[in-house]
Amino acid sequence: MKRSTNKLLLFLILLMLAQVLYVRHGVHLYGLVYHVLGNGQRHPAAYKKIIMRVLRGFKKIPNQLP
């Protein structure tokens, strides 16, 4: 349980970092997270669903994402 919590925390930090990169430098959020997480092993659509679910929790991020 503790291990999965650490992974989730790391994932959230990664997401925030990716969001900052996206806002400041125009790096594509999904592409970055997809690249870092699976390195092309799993289907990106699955990650997209997870990312959208997580992003709904953030109020500062606008609803319209590329």
Q: What is the DSSP string of the chain?
A: -HHHHHHHHHHHHHHHHHHHHHHHH---HHHHHHHHHTTTSS-HHHHHHHHHHHHTT-SSS-S---
**Per-residue pLDDT reduced to its tens digit, 2-37:** 677 888 888 888 888 777 766 665 556 666 666 666
- Count structural domains, the chain: 1
18 occurs within a structural domain: yes
61 occurs within a structural domain: no
CB 51 within 8 A of CB 36: no
66 occurs within a structural domain: no
20 occurs within a structural domain: yes
64 occurs within a structural domain: no
Q: What is the pTM of this model?
A: 0.33
65 occurs within a structural domain: no
In angstroms, rounded to a whole number, what is the distance separating the alpha carbons of residues 55 and 63? Answer: 9
34 occurs within a structural domain: yes
**Could you list the residue range(s) of the whole structural domain that residue 44 is in?**
2-55
